[in-house]
Amino acid sequence: MFKRHRRLRGSQVMRDMVKDLYLDVKDFVYPLFIEEGTGIRQEIQSMPGQYRLSIDMLKPELDEIWDLGIRSILIFGIPLEKDPMGKEAYNDLGIVQEAVRFIKKSYPKMLVITDVCMCEYTSHGHCGILSGPHVLNDETLYYLSKIAVSHAKAGADMVAPSDMMDGRILAMRKALDNEGFINTPIMSYSVKYASSFYGPFRDAADSSPSFGDRKTYQMDFRSTKEALREAEADLDEGADILIVKPALSYLDVVKRLYRRYDVPIAVYNVSAEYSMVKAAAQNGWIDEKGIVMEKMYAFKRAGASIIITYHSKDIARWLKNKEIY
Ligand code: PBG
Assembly ipTM: 0.96
218 lies in some domain: yes
Cα 276 to Cα 274: distance, rounded to the nearest angstrom: 6
3-state secondary structure of 128: coil
Q: At what angle do helices 226-237 and 251-260 cross, to 10 degrees?
A: 50
User: Could you tell me which of 202, 274, 194 has the C-alpha nearest to residue 230?
Assistant: 194
Residue type, 96: V
Q: Give the domain extent around 19.
A: 5-320
Q: At what angle do helices 271-282 and 288-302 cross, to 10 degrees?
A: 150
The CA 59 to ligand 1 mean position distance, Å, reads 25
127 lies in some domain: yes
49 lies in some domain: yes
Catalytic machinery residues: 192, 245
| pLDDT computed for residue 325 by the predictor | 63
Mutation to probe ligand 1, out of 117, 127, 308 (largest number of atoms < 8 A from CB)? 117
278 lies in some domain: yes
The CA 56 to ligand 1 mean position distance, Å, reads 25
- For the chain, list residues with pLDDT below 50: none
Cα 65 to Cα 68: distance, rounded to the nearest angstrom: 5
Around ligand 1, the residues with Cβ closer than 6 Å are 115, 117, 119, 127, 162, 198, 201-202, 270-271
**Is 271 assigned a ligand-binding role in the annotation?**
yes
Report the nearest-CA residue for atom 2 of ligand 1. 162
Domain count for the chain, please give it.
Answer: 1
**Is 119 assigned a ligand-binding role in the annotation?**
yes
The CA 127 to ligand 1 mean position distance, Å, reads 10
User: Could you tell me which of 291, 228, 295 has the C-alpha nearest to residue 268?
Assistant: 295
| pLDDT computed for residue 324 by the predictor | 77
| pLDDT computed for residue 85 by the predictor | 96
Beta partners for 29? 308
Residue 254 makes CB contacts below 8 A (sequence gap 6+) with 244, 247, 265, 267, 299, 302, 303, 304
| pLDDT computed for residue 129 by the predictor | 94
Cα 110 to Cα 30: distance, rounded to the nearest angstrom: 11
The CA 141 to ligand 1 mean position distance, Å, reads 18
User: Could you tell me which of 75, 81, 28 has the C-alpha nearest to residue 53?
Assistant: 75
Report the nearest-CA residue for atom 14 of ligand 1. 198
| pLDDT computed for residue 322 by the predictor | 86
Q: Is residue 172 within 8 Å of residue 116, measured between CB atoms?
A: yes
User: Could you tell me which of 102, 99, 97, 201 has the C-alpha nearest to residue 149?
Assistant: 97
Count the neighbouring beta carbons within 10 Å of the beta carbon of residue 285: 10
Whole-angstrom Cα Rg for the chain: 20
| pLDDT computed for residue 116 by the predictor | 98
| H helical segments located in the chain | 12-18, 58-67, 95-106, 137-154, 168-178, 199-205, 226-237, 251-260, 271-282, 288-302, 312-320
Cα 259 to Cα 68: distance, rounded to the nearest angstrom: 32
325 lies in some domain: no
Cα 98 to Cα 187: distance, rounded to the nearest angstrom: 21
Give the Å distances, CA to CA, from 216 to 39, 126, 212, 267: 38, 11, 10, 22
127-139 confidence digits (pLDDT tens): 999 999 999 999 9
Cα 139 to Cα 114: distance, rounded to the nearest angstrom: 21
Residue type, 165: M
Nearest ligand 1 atom to the CA of 272 is 14
Cα 323 to Cα 317: distance, rounded to the nearest angstrom: 8
Q: Residue 198's domain is classified under what CATH number? A: 3.20.20.70
**Whether pTM exceeds 0.95:** yes
**Is 214 assigned a ligand-binding role in the annotation?**
yes
**Is 310 assigned a ligand-binding role in the annotation?**
yes
